[in-house]
Amino acid sequence: MALVHVPLWAVCMLRVALATVYFQEEFLDGEHWRNRWVQSTNDSQIGHFRLSSGKFYGHKEKDKGLQTTQNGRFYAISARFKPFSNKGKTLVIQYTVKHEQKMDCGGGYIKVFPADVDQKNLNGKSQYYIMFGPDICGFDIRKVHVILHFKNQYHSNKKSIRCKVDGFTHLYALILRPDLTYEVKIDGQSIESGGIEYDWNLTSLKKMEKTSAESKDWEQVEDGKSQDWEKHFLDASASKPSDWNSELDGDWQAPMIQKPPYQDGLKPEGIDKDIWLHQKMKNTNYLTEYDLSEFENIGAIGLELWQVRSGTIFDNFLITDDEEYAENFGKATWGETKTHTHTERERERERERERDRQREKQAPCREPDMGLHPGSPGLRPGLKVALNR
């Protein structure tokens, strides 16, 4: 075993030099997490978290995470880190979540906030950059949210991604890359990927901006202000003549042409306008492709959600710019302990069945289970809660 795992950590350590880790939280120092995480006091009814590895786990200490403790509550808690921008860099957001209580309705997602978020007052209206993770309510809502805040609006992922609904710990990772691609991984497996622009319906937003820029600013061109703009462009389609002699003729450069290629979605009518728009694309507040995945001042991570039945455990939070580091961190945390979890769960189920048998003996005329949650002996929600608490 050890021989297999040591290289993983070794690789992990090697990558530290290259990766930037903005935030990492494994809750390995007892109650000290309370110094790092701020519970919101926006409402006196906000539910409390405790540190717990739950009823079954792979490793009692390593699997400790933030667990929701009160039914039918809103939860709001967050932690800060040194603010950063993901401009030009990959952004990986990763964590583990376990719904050991048989989640019926509630959030299992995290939110990433701008640095100026008011932690003490964190609530459902607090503006966030990214919301990511599973949301379950009955049989209808079982999805992974990936909501991006952009241009003062929240944009949900169009492609629906199914989340895990069993009671085990699952590793969720979101990767946003500067080339405008993204990937969602669950338990280390790629579940969804593609282009941010298309999978968040940002294409229309982009076109909208282009159109308004075109119509609004065109008047400037009409009153003669376009004259100063560069009117020539390198002809990208030209190729070096075969008889070109670099020693005699110097370095070859593509010829300058007056009319730039048409930009998609734009229908310029004349050359001047065409050139002007081309300049406009380069110089002003057009949405550059890049903007779509850029967050200027990322500074906090938090849990802001509602749960009908509590018991969810959040752990192994990571924000980094390095996909490989995240992958290794996932293997070293979730990957290390998950294999032991299934046998532990079986033991816990057996203990529950034993408790049920004892109760049967004491109260043989108990109300029958209504059979709303078939197939889970020993873990029948309504009944268990009533008897255990």
Ligand X SMILES: *[C@@H]1O[C@H](CO)[C@@H](O)[C@H](O)[C@H]1NC(C)=O
Binding residues for ligand X (CB under 6 A): 42, 121, 123, 125, 158, 201, 204-205
Positions at the binding site for an alpha-D-glucoside: 109, 111, 128, 135, 304
**What's the min distance (Å) between Cβ of 43 and ligand X?**
6
- Longest pairwise C-alpha distance within the chain: 104
**What's the min distance (Å) between Cβ of 69 and ligand X?**
21
Q: Which is nearer to ligand X, 40 or 226 (CB)?
A: 40
* 253-259: long-range contacts, CB 8 A cutoff, minimum separation 24: 256/232, 257/232, 257/233, 258/231, 258/232, 258/233, 259/233
**What's the min distance (Å) between Cβ of 46 and ligand X?**
10
Letter string b/e over residues 315-330, b meaning 16 or more CB atoms within 10 A of that residue's CB: bbbbbbbbbebbbbbb
**What's the min distance (Å) between Cβ of 212 and ligand X?**
13
* 336-343: long-range contacts, CB 8 A cutoff, minimum separation 24: 336/5, 336/58, 336/59, 336/62, 337/57, 337/58, 337/59, 337/62, 337/63, 337/169, 338/58, 338/168, 338/169, 339/58, 340/57, 340/58, 340/59, 341/56, 341/57, 341/58, 341/63, 341/168, 341/169, 342/168
Q: Which is nearer to ligand X, 123 or 211 (CB)?
A: 123
**How far apart (Å, rounded) are the C-alpha atoms in residues 291 and 125?**
24
Q: By C-alpha distance, which of 148, 93, 19 is closest to 319? A: 93
**What's the min distance (Å) between Cβ of 201 and ligand X?**
4
Positions at the binding site: 109, 111, 128, 135, 304
Q: Which is nearer to ligand X, 214 or 324 (CB)?
A: 214
Q: Which is nearer to ligand X, 201 or 288 (CB)?
A: 201
**What's the min distance (Å) between Cβ of 386 and ligand X?**
33
For CA atoms 339, 91, 8, 29, the dihedral sign is negative
**What's the min distance (Å) between Cβ of 127 and ligand X?**
10
Locus of tokens 């075993």: 1
Locus of tokens 């550059």: 288
Q: Which is nearer to ligand X, 57 or 113 (CB)?
A: 113
Q: Which is nearer to ligand X, 159 or 347 (CB)?
A: 159
Question: Is the distance from CB of 172 to CB of 144 less than 8 angstroms?
Answer: yes
Q: By C-alpha distance, which of 66, 8, 39, 83 is closest to 331? A: 8
Q: By C-alpha distance, which of 129, 113, 29 is closest to 79? A: 113
Residue 279's CB is within 10 A of a number of other CB atoms, namely 16
**How far apart (Å, rounded) are the C-alpha atoms in residues 31 and 50?**
9
Q: Which is nearer to ligand X, 123 or 343 (CB)?
A: 123
**What's the min distance (Å) between Cβ of 156 and ligand X?**
8
Alpha helices in 114-229 (DSSP H): 196-199, 203-222
User: 286 - beta bridge partners?
Assistant: none
**What's the min distance (Å) between Cβ of 41 and ligand X?**
7
Q: Which is nearer to ligand X, 9 or 198 (CB)?
A: 198
Locus of tokens 């849990």: 303
Q: Which is nearer to ligand X, 145 or 231 (CB)?
A: 145
User: 317 - beta bridge partners?
Assistant: 25
